[in-house]
Chains A and B, each alone.
Chain A
Amino acid sequence: MENDRKALPDEELMLRLKDGEVDCFKELVLRHQRSVINIAFRVTGNHQEAEEVAQEVFLRVYRAATAYTPDAKFSTYLYRITINLSLNQVRKAKAVLSRFFSGEQGFREELETRETADRLPDTPLTSLEKKEVKKTVRKAIRSLPKRQRVAIILSQYEGLSYQEISKVLNCSSKAVERLIYRGKIKLKKELASFLQKE
């Protein structure tokens, strides 16, 4: 039975979840949790926040199952929720930052704790240079304007085509191409020091 579920497309799993097969939801989570968490992580820059966002994403998928109709690819729908919630999280974090800089009591300590947690490596690293590259790449991506950031993440990390990204962002393929082109030009400048070393 479990092997049967693994062979089913996402849309079929959602329809079965609609009929009450909760195990289909678990299969969807297993398939997509890494992508969802990493999209949220690259947008927000914080692992803990990314997992909170991902939890909310999958909860919304679960709640929406009763009314689900396979009008579009499930992944398009999933990525759209992920990006919207991730960007909401970034907006909330900016509000936190403004309170930090205004000197609100307690906020400085809270934010410093979060930043420390974020500096801890997620996986063991072989050299300081690789660690530095990773940190700089993440910072460079977070410095991009929102739509360029999202387009780059979906293209370079999730392997989506321009056409698929256009459906997630609700724009034309040409617009996606422009977003990615401008994003890469900015990233090329941000990462110039590493490129010269190569």
Chain B
Amino acid sequence: MDCRGVKKRLSAYLDREVDRRESEEIVQHINSCPDCTREMKALHDTCLLLREDVGVEPSQDFPVQLYERVRGEEDRYSMVKKPYLPLRSLPALARIAVVLILGIFIGTGLGSLTFRKKDVLVELKPGQHTVMGAKLDNFQSIYPQSLTRAYVNLSTSQRS
């Protein structure tokens, strides 16, 4: 190895990034070359000077501020996930009441959809009321336990 080759590898040698064979060649050359010895010492001392700067310590507030920001992220995320009905925040009885009311509306809506299908099949006559003009015998196929059947029974009992 000549001086040029050795000088190029001195930095890696000092950082222990050369293999054993190359390391031995460098050492052999340095032992007989004052110029390369000076260069190695200068690089070595430069690295020692760099290490005089031990750096800074994290401020005491650093982790506290960081965890506050993380908590802020979590709050934003949970609001995005649940933007609408905050059912969990209601007491149990209130939750049951909400579900029942929603169920009644949905059931009535579905029942009137079923009824309308019957309307399409039956000729409507003006003047007839409560069950929107269709005849009672058209409701034989309505499911007996449905809200629609309950409504029909109620309205016919009122009429009679």
Contact = CB atoms under 8 A, between A and B. Distances in A.
Contacts of A177: 11-12, 17
Interface in A11-51: 22, 25-26, 29-30, 33-34, 37-38, 41-42, 47, 50-51
Contacts of B12: 162, 177, 180-181
B15 interface: yes
B84 interface: no
A82 B152 CA distance: 71
Interface string B51-77: 111111111001101110110010000
B63 A33 contact: yes
A58 interface: yes
Interface in A106-139: 122-123, 130, 133-134, 137-138
Q: How many residues of B sit at the interface, in one of the four size bands?
A: 20 to 34
B63 A137 contact: no
Given A54-B62, A130-B52, A133-B52, A187 B46 contact: yes
B42 A51 contact: no
Nearest to A163: B17
B97 interface: no
B87 interface: no
B122 interface: no
Contacts of B43: 184, 188
A29 B65 CA distance: 12
B98 to A, nearest CB: 29
Given A55-B66, A181-B11, A122 B56 contact: yes
A68 interface: no
Given A54-B62, A181-B8, A25 B56 contact: no
A58 B57 contact: no
Given A58-B66, A157-B51, A195-B49, 12 more contacts: A22-B70, A26-B63, A34-B58, A38-B56, A41-B55, A51-B59, A59-B69, A62-B70, A134-B52, A152-B50, A162-B15, A184-B43
